[in-house]
Amino acid sequence: MLPRIRFAYLPTPVEPLPRLTTALQGPQLWVKRDDQTGLAFGGNKTRKLEYLLADARKSGAEALITAGAVQSNHCRQTAAAACRFGFTCTLVLAGEKPAHISGNYFLDRFLGAELVWVEKSQREIALKEAFKSAREDGKQPYLIPYGGSNAIGAAAYSFAVQELLDQKSDLDWIIFPSSSGGTQAGLLVGAEKYGFQGRILGISVDNSAAMLQSSVSALAGETAMLLGVKREFSTEEVKVNDEYLGAGYGEMGDPEMEALKLFALYEGLILDPVYTGRAAAGLIDLIRRGFFTADQKVLFWHTGGTPALFADPYLDMLSAR
């Protein structure tokens, strides 16, 4: 069994979405509420951090170092976990420093993280420099990869499949946003380990299907090996839809805005503009195109990220609707 520090609010609820199901005239819709994991507004990274922080503590680390985008949910949750368990935290944020402090950027600062701003092309170099700097300062650093997406982090979502099956085992599809790949890799291994018979489809937030299929299949293989599952995963087994990339990562368009509105107005459920908003937009379009049959049960895995809703420019765009 992997070392673990338990601090996530688990199991997260599984809830039906009856009004949205009726409005979209599609399959039976359900949601897995990983926006309710409890750590600084929650999100899927909290599951991963239970195992990553345990590994950091085991190694004697004192400083957590990781990277993400300007409004990174992963960075916000890592900063919160560092506060809770007595680590220092350095976040390498790829992108231009915002003129206004809002959303996850506000929370990163509020949680006392050291912020390093770099261009995306310099992210890996800056991570190595931050690691070296912490070591030179006499702190034992621990590097958490982008999105917490290594075998240890992905393992958390393998175990989450068992949690889901204990709650609802007759699902035909699991739909969710896929980006750094750890969540999807973990779900694939968990499906193999615990016997989930449905299909798993990631809606890409930023990468091509080919890129995600390659990275997720490799990570799933590493995760399976870590958990003693004798299984390799081909790229063809990794189901990814990359038709909803819009104007690019972090760019909220009309499909995302409609998805946020529909989930809010029909179910009182708040999504985020980058990850779950894009995945929900994809789900809605697939329903309208008849991708699912009316009798199927489709679960949307809510991976969190709601603080980004209050960041510039998303708040202004949504307020103007």
DSSP code at position 44: T
Residues 6+ apart with CB under 8 A from 150: 182, 219, 222
Angle at CA of residue 214, ends 212 and 219, nearest 5°: 90
State the burial class of residue 203 (Cβ atoms within 10 Å of its Cβ: 0-12, 13-18, 19+). Answer: buried
The dihedrals phi and psi of 177, each to the nearest 5 degrees, come to: -75, 140
What per-residue string of b and e applies to 275-302 under the rule 16 or more CB within 10 Å gives b? Answer: bbbbbbbbbbbbbeeebbeeebbbbbbb
For residue 49, what is the enclosing H or E element? helix 45-58
The question of whether 179 is a catalytic residue gets the answer no
- What is the rounded distance in angstroms from the CA atom of residue 277 to the CA atom of residue 268? 14
Q: Are 131 and 65 contacting, i.e. CB atoms less than 8 angstroms apart?
A: yes
Of 59, 72, 102, 179, the catalytic one is: 72
Active site residues: 72
